[in-house]
Structure 1
Amino acid sequence: MIVPDRRHDEFARRIVAEHHGLVAWDKPAGLPSTGRTLDDPQCAQAHAMTWAGRMVWAVHQLDRDTSGLLLFARKKSALLRAQQALAARDLQKIYVALVHGRPDNATLLIDAPLRKRSQQGRSVVDVHRSGKSAQTRIWHWASSPDGNYSLVAAELLTGRTHQLRAHLHHAGHPLLGETLYNDIPCALHPRQALHALGLINRGGHQALPETPLIATLAEDLVALAHDLHVPLPARDASGWAQAWHTLAT
């Protein structure tokens, strides 16, 4: 008797779209994008390879506890095209976060250099003049009636380690559930409330479809927003795409 590999079905169920050798996948929180080796079964790449039955490459990375859109390539040529488009910012990566406080402005550009250092045996980053240039753009989407919590959208204009988490802390709006980049660890949620919402093909690049690739907000973050009375602008993928278009224009 052949026992089906459940990872195959689970991976297929979470596919957002396939296009010219690329696979957009909705990564759950708690799963690293890649492993230490290609044989590591406990990572998203291994799930993708099991599903495809061949070598698959991760185009970019998401932190273990960040949910949302992760892009894989089934062909080396597709991998190179997508990475070049990301480097040229033809493809816009959009994140959604639930944060402490309410931003004063509708939009905010955080321009603060980040340095990497070791803290208790693990690598962390902080804002420091000796660090590497780092810029993050933030859009305020909605807040709870008391102003204690907010939903924001974010675009990383550079790609530093833990950039968004460190920059939000620096701006005075650390992520809910944040224990590392927060003066007082937040116990309101078991993970940092960060989700990779999608990729926007703003350069008309052939690497991706013209329509936005959207991974709807993870269920645990939907529940968190509800509990904290933070209104969400949409529920399904098309609604989130339209809400983002309205917010950014």
Structure 2
Amino acid sequence: MTIDILFEDNHVLAVVKPPGIPSQEDETRDPDMLTLLKDDLKLRYDKPGNVFLGLVHRLDRPVGGAMVFAKTSKAASRLSEAVRSRNFGKTYMCIVQGTPAKRTATLKHYIRKDAKRNLAVVFDSPAAEAKEAILDYTVMATVQGFSLLAVKLHTGRTHQIRAQLAHIGCPLVGDSKYGAVKRKDIADVQLWSTSVSFPHPVTKETLTFRSLPERNAAWGWWTIEELEAASTVFIADSPTRGR
């Protein structure tokens, strides 16, 4: 399997995760990003024994796009702290059924993970065991009852984008788990990690890595210019690398 590398140095590895691959090994035992990249590093650098690679953040299995891994334990610790302190920016684009009532808005809900059903339960006000979930969105374009949204996450809750947008009546295309109409022509949830931005764990330089989906499935409903515009709405002024 070929995985696009956006950036690599001695501390950080930024790649494009293909849709349909788990971020790390799960109960299916299907090939996962962490294992695939460890095997690749071992092969490319002819490393004996085990290869260290730290999982900094996760993308849901159906979701593709920019993803970052740490190549040393020190980098893993510092990047994990950046995530915890909300100094790790994450932006996405998605395609939803319908159109949100407001063109641009901040959504604030409370999410509780239902582990038995692998679902995020959304509440409008604080609830037992529910954690605050905040995101910004902007409607970029609409066509035939569907909308292309740019999204910025402020928190990283289970299925957050999928659950919050479904809660306001706009489930993501392909996401039958959260109420979207099933389609034979679309297998994956139409959600893409367009950028990740963070301070380099050693140099402290702000790095931003971008990715766009291929224009297949529902992504093909939009022009490349519309996808480009959606991918840059929430990116702050900072050095940008990748594609």
TM-score calculated relative to the size of structure 1 = 0.78
For the residue of structure 1 that corresponds to 2:132, the secondary structure is coil
Runs of 4+ deviating beyond 4 Å? 239-246
Change in Cα spacing, 1:93 to 1:20, as seen in structure 2 (3 Å) is farther
Which of 182, 185, 190 is 1:186 aligned to? Answer: 182
Range that drifts further, 161-170 or 205-214: 205-214
Q: Aligned in 2, Cα 1:158/1:244: closer, same or farther, shift over 3 Å? A: closer
User: Does structure 1 conserve the Cα–Cα contact (< 8 Å) formed by 2:150 and 2:230?
Assistant: no
Flag the 1:242–1:169 CA change in 2: closer, same or farther, 3 A: closer
Q: Which residue of 2 aligns with 1:126?
A: 121
Cα distance, 1:105 vs structure 2 = 2.5
Residue of structure 2 equivalent to 1:28? 18
Q: Write the deviation string for residues 71-121 of structure 1: whole angstroms up to 9, x where unpaired.
A: 111101111121112222222100110111123333211111112225xx5
Counterpart of 1:70 (choices 61, 67, 72) is 67
For 2:149 and 2:227, the matched residues in 1 are separated by 16
Given that residues 92 and 231 in structure 2 are in contact (C-alpha distance below 8 angstroms), is that contact kept between their aligned partners in structure 1?
no
CA RMSD of aligned residues (A): 2.6
Q: Say which of 30, 40, 60 aligns to 1:51.
A: 40
- From 210, 217, 228, give the equivalent of 2:213: 217
Q: For residues 240 and 140 of structure 1, do their structure 2 counterparts lie closer, same or farther at Cα, with a shift above 3 Å needed? A: closer
CA distance in 1, matches of 2:107, 2:230: 24
Q: Provide Cα deviations, 1:112-157, integer angstroms capped at 9, x if missing partner.
A: 1112225xx532122134222211211222222x4x1111111221
Task: Please name the residue that 2:241 is paired with.
Answer: none
CA contact (8 A) 1:225 1:232 kept: no
Number of matched pairs? 220
The alignment status of 1:18 with 2:8, answered yes or no, reads: yes
More strand by share: 2
Distance change in 2, residues 1:189/1:41 (3 Å) = closer
Structure 2 alignment gaps of length 5 or more = 43-50, 237-243
* Mapping 1:1-249, distance limit 5 Å: 7=1, 10-11=2-3, 14-36=4-26, 42-53=31-42, 54-117=51-114, 121-128=116-123, 129-130=126-127, 131-144=130-143, 146=144, 148-182=145-179, 185-187=181-183, 189-201=186-198, 205-207=199-201, 210-220=206-216, 223-227=217-221, 230-233=222-225, 242=232, 244-245=234-235
Q: Is the 8 A contact 2:135 2:153 kept in 1?
A: yes
